[in-house]
Amino acid sequence: MRIAQPNIDEFYAAISAKLRGQEVPCAVTGGLACVEFGVAQHTEDCDLICPPEHAKTLLQVLRASLFGAVPCRYRKTSPPLDVRWLAGGYTAHFLWPTDAPEKPSLDVFGAPPRVSTPWEKETVGRFAGRHTVAEMKRTNRRKDWDQATALGLAMLEANDPRGWLHIFDATTLRTLIKKLSLGEEEIRQRPVLQLAKSSSPLLDRAVQTEIEFWTHLDALRLKVYQASHESYGRALLKVAKKPPTDLIAQHQTRVELAEKLLPERPMQDYGIPRLIEEARDATAVGLDPAILQFLPQVASHFNNIASIS
């Protein structure tokens, strides 16, 4: 007898509900949040923010969460869902290997990248707030910038002035500046907005340079984590050719290898100021130096990594 498969969105909602029922703060972000906020059409993947100190509870919830009859398992070389590595900025990856058309997968963030303010204070139901989602969208993927802009527009419509920080289309900025007020705090956080306010012809190039800077920053960040993960990933593939089916057993294997081979805080080891400077240097190649003065100050976007003791 074939077991009926649950609705994938209801499945993710049930995981969130179980966590909150155990007083674990969590928030769905990424593509599902963009669908919820009307700036994306569809996604089957779920990105979840969960404080690192609640990793053990989340692991037990995932172990107990079957999709139909299919249990959760780690993806191939995922770091362990452990407070040490989640706090260091790693992402833990899970899936439910079902034959159903919809295949659930879950990425767990303990220190969500680029988030500069406490995400826990402005969730919308089970979803992260628009500001959090938009900050996480400053990636090296082109489609994410359009979604960030759409989220920024929605924030301005809701009278949240932080929406100005997320609009990465110069034409849209020119239109909005004629209709809406722009505060000094937003200009301080994002100097390029001064060009919009003064109707400067540099605006288009400056906005594009911002995107290039964030793109370099994200690519360099990923490079740091990939380099730190390399030895661990190779070792895990060797010992886990036939991984145990139980999630806790899979977890124990990963923790044992991670304690030997996976640095807990690679971003701190590399140096956040160094990373930012390298992104600035990469952006500056062939560029009029005058444009660089309009790049944002981004150190606050690494606060949740830099604060690790």
List pLDDT tens digits, range 83-112: 999 999 999 999 999 887 788 999 999 999
Tell whether 160 is covered by a domain. Answer: no
pLDDT at residue 41 greater than cutoff 90? no
Strand ranges, E, within the chain: 27-29, 45-49, 73-74, 91-95, 105-109
The pLDDT of residue 44 is: 78
What lies within 8 Å, CB to CB, of 38 at 6+ separation is 150, 154
Q: Which residue has the higher pLDDT, 243 or 4?
A: 243
Tell whether 109 is covered by a domain. Answer: yes
Tell whether 196 is covered by a domain. Answer: no
What's the mean pLDDT when you consider all of the chain? 93
Q: Domain containing 28 — which CATH number?
A: 3.30.460
Tell whether 117 is covered by a domain. Answer: yes
Q: Could you report the per-residue pLDDT of 226-277, keeping only the tens digit for each?
A: 999 999 999 999 886 676 789 999 999 999 999 999 999 999 999 999 999 9
Tell whether 289 is covered by a domain. Answer: no
Could you tell me the pLDDT band of residue 1, with boundaries at 50, 70 and 90?
A: very low
The pLDDT of residue 196 is: 96
The mean per-residue pLDDT over the stretch 46-71 comes to 96
Tell whether 221 is covered by a domain. Answer: no
Tell whether 108 is covered by a domain. Answer: yes
pLDDT at residue 2 greater than cutoff 50? no
What lies within 8 Å, CB to CB, of 111 at 6+ separation is 52, 86, 87, 88, 89, 304, 305
Four-CA torsion 215, 43, 71, 259, nearest 10 degrees: 10
Q: Could you report the per-residue pLDDT of 144-185, keeping only the tens digit for each?
A: 999 999 999 999 999 999 999 999 999 999 999 999 999 999
The mean per-residue pLDDT over the stretch 57-77 comes to 95
Tell whether 59 is covered by a domain. Answer: yes
What lies within 8 Å, CB to CB, of 11 at 6+ separation is 65, 67, 104
Structural domain that includes position 91:
8-122
Number of domains in the chain: 1
What lies within 8 Å, CB to CB, of 175 at 6+ separation is none
pLDDT at residue 35 greater than cutoff 50? yes
Q: Could you report the per-residue pLDDT of 115-152, keeping only the tens digit for each?
A: 999 999 999 999 999 999 999 999 988 889 999 999 99
